[in-house]
Chain A
């Protein structure tokens, strides 16, 4: 199904390596988000972006970076500074920031080798 696409589905990171998770949406939504999901921890906000070339830190931004050069794309880089990167990462979008409904991607499972 279309809407919001994340890739890859599985990703492995070596020690000291930066990795980038892709998120693309064709919903013409202004706002995009990255969440981290750990077992039993719910969804925690990493970064969000309301418009192109603007983004804000969420609750757990340390060790992550993002860019928003195009409306459709909001890639997340997990840097070597993130010491516990193993998690399920979900990208989401909404019509505008804090809209009533989030549309989620299918997620990327990141593991450390």
Chain B
């Protein structure tokens, strides 16, 4: 089955710097890669996702890149702010209409701390 590895487990940056979190997956059939953000004491929320038919997706200060050949994808946060401090989870799944599908498999999470 699918296995998702996430690195680093903790990341500390200065406000205004960039942060990068990387994930690798094992199942080449996986085609959907979301990122969830969980602030302290709150529920996880989807912040961005990417399908395997694109290599990059941006939403303001957040971007995700995907390398299908290497089977890894990354979350990039630019101009970090204290409110970006949270645990970030990557995930992978096979998303399709009928046929082969799979549940979301999550990475173990990265605790990002942004220091003012």
Contact across chains for A40 and B109 when beta carbons are under 8 A apart? yes
Q: Does B95 contact A (CB under 8 A)?
A: yes
Dominant secondary structure at the A interface: loop
Contact across chains for A48 and B103 when beta carbons are under 8 A apart? yes
- Interface-facing stretch out of B12-20, B41-49, B52-60, B72-80: B41-49
Dominant secondary structure at the B interface: loop
Contact across chains for A43 and B49 when beta carbons are under 8 A apart? no
- Interface-facing stretch out of A14-22, A66-74, A78-86, A101-109: A101-109
- Bound Cα distance A96, B93 (Å): 14
| Contact flag A100-B95 (CB < 8 Å), given A40-B108, A42-B109, A43-B89 | yes
- Bound Cα distance A32, B9 (Å): 28
Name A's B-contacting residues (CB within 8 A). Answer: 40-45, 48, 58, 90, 97-98, 100-102, 104-107
Additional A-B contact list (15), CB under 8 Å, known A98-B101, A101-B46? A40-B109, A42-B6, A42-B89, A42-B106, A42-B109, A45-B103, A58-B103, A97-B101, A98-B95, A101-B49, A102-B44, A102-B104, A104-B44, A105-B43, A107-B43
